[in-house]
Chains A and B, each alone.
Chain A
Amino acid sequence: MLGVCFFILISVSVAAAIPTGNFGALSNAIVDGAAQAVTLTLSLAGMMALWCGVMRVLQEAGVIRLLARVLSPVLRLVFPDAWRSGRACEEITASVSANILGIGNAATPLALSAMAKLQEENPTPDTATDDMITLSVLATAPPALLPTTLIALRRAAGAARPYEIVLPVWITSAACALFGIVLCRLFARAGRGRRRD
């Protein structure tokens, strides 16, 4: 699937470069892109190391277990398989909480360790489980409390009321997250029905 995604991006780019004649820019982009990947990963590496370390401390101290217990009435409905088996619950709780608190930098490394944990429990390791899909889809529509970058950009652009977007953003992102969860549950059920046939 990732290969298909790669193919689509590359073929669309090459096709778009034919009428525009942008092939020189395309070659430069390949060189820059590869270099960017390293810079990006290195800057991600610092955050990943920090948050994985913090996560380990909070886990050992029992903070995450407490948080998982508080949030479990909601998360149990969203990630039924993880909560049934009792594995990866803490990792999922940590990454979802980081997303809601708006510390996206921390959410990615936490989510990655949740994905790795889910993969350990995966009975069919080449195929994504329902919980993996829900976790990744939720991250594409993160229900953030405060869109700080947006507010900063709006203030810089001279908006009269930089904060007026906050309430509409909450409504929209909450609805999108809910829509994503419902779709995931529906598709998961449909997939399970097909497998049983």
Chain B
Amino acid sequence: MIEILSGAIMPCVLLLAAIPMLSKRRDFFARFTEGAREGLTSAVRLLPTMIALCVALAMFRASGAVDLLTGALGGAAARLGIPAEILPLLVTRPVSGSASTAAYADLLASVGADSFAALCASVLMGSSDTLVYVITVYFSGTAIGGKPPVRRTRHAFFTAACVMIFCVFLACAVSRLFFSEAGA
């Protein structure tokens, strides 16, 4: 039921946009193509940022830094109430959507989808996003109107990092509350 509803959202929004096109007085289809043309231009303007970002993130993934960080943080995490199994996810979540999804799928396969670590990881995945990617892309979006982009992002990264850390602890605490039978 929920799956049907969530699958219906996007088509319904499109339907909502298609209704005005029946209007005889105004040409809404022309508005659509105008907007779409602007969207395409924006995407092309984003490409230089995306290249720098994707190269840096691909290097980070390939360098083995994830394993090193996971090894170094293991003891500390256990003491803070974070299951050590979710560390690869913790390290990849801020930098890469595909790598953290891979880390998550890997975790489900290795410890079982109903284990406490997997449930913790699910809550974390559901309530966080790829910090570095989002902030970088959003701020490069300031340039697509033709103006020079914002260079000083002030406290954006710091705040997002605080939220991410808060999210990790909260995800573990909430999971402990909900899934005590899974062996927290």
Identify the A interface with B (CB < 8 A): 1-2, 5-6, 9-10, 12-17, 19-20, 22, 25-26, 28-30, 32-34, 36-38, 40-42, 44-45, 48-58, 60-61, 63, 101-103, 106, 108-109, 111-120, 122, 125-128, 132-133, 135-137, 139-142, 144-151, 153-154, 157-169, 171-173, 175-176, 179-180, 183-184, 187, 191
Contact = CB atoms under 8 A, between A and B. Distances in A.
A176 B21 CA distance: 39
Nearest to B49: A2
A106 B10 contact: yes
Nearest to A10: B56
Interface in B116-149: 118-119, 122-132, 134-145, 147-149
Contacts of A28: 62
Contact of B32 (A14, A57, A157): A57
Interface of B: 2-3, 5-6, 9-10, 13-14, 16-17, 19-21, 26, 28, 31-40, 42-44, 46-47, 49-65, 67-68, 95, 101, 104-105, 108-109, 112-114, 118-119, 122-132, 134-145, 147-160, 162-164, 166-167, 170-171, 174-175, 177-179
A128 B160 CA distance: 14
Contacts of A113: 38, 42, 141, 144
B43 A169 contact: no
Residue of B59, B155, B171, B179 with most chain A CB atoms under a 10 A cut-off:
B59
Contacts of B151: 1, 126-127
A26 B64 CA distance: 9
Given A40-B50, A53-B33, A103-B13, A33 B57 contact: yes
Contacts of B109: 157
Closest 7 CB pairs of A and B: A56-B35, A33-B58, A52-B39, A173-B127, A169-B126, A45-B43, A112-B141
Given A6-B52, A40-B50, A150 B65 contact: no
A159 B68 CA distance: 30
B87 to A, nearest CB: 15
Nearest to A103: B10
Contacts of A133: 153-156, 159
B101 A149 contact: yes
A144 B56 contact: no
A146 B6 contact: yes
B178 A167 contact: yes
A145 B104 CA distance: 20
Contacts of A187: 154-155, 158-159
A184 B154 CA distance: 11
Contacts of B113: 154, 157-160, 162
Contact of B142 (A22, A132, A167): A132
A132 B139 contact: yes
A145 B150 contact: no
Contacts of B39: 45, 48-53, 109
A37 B63 contact: no
A191 B3 CA distance: 44
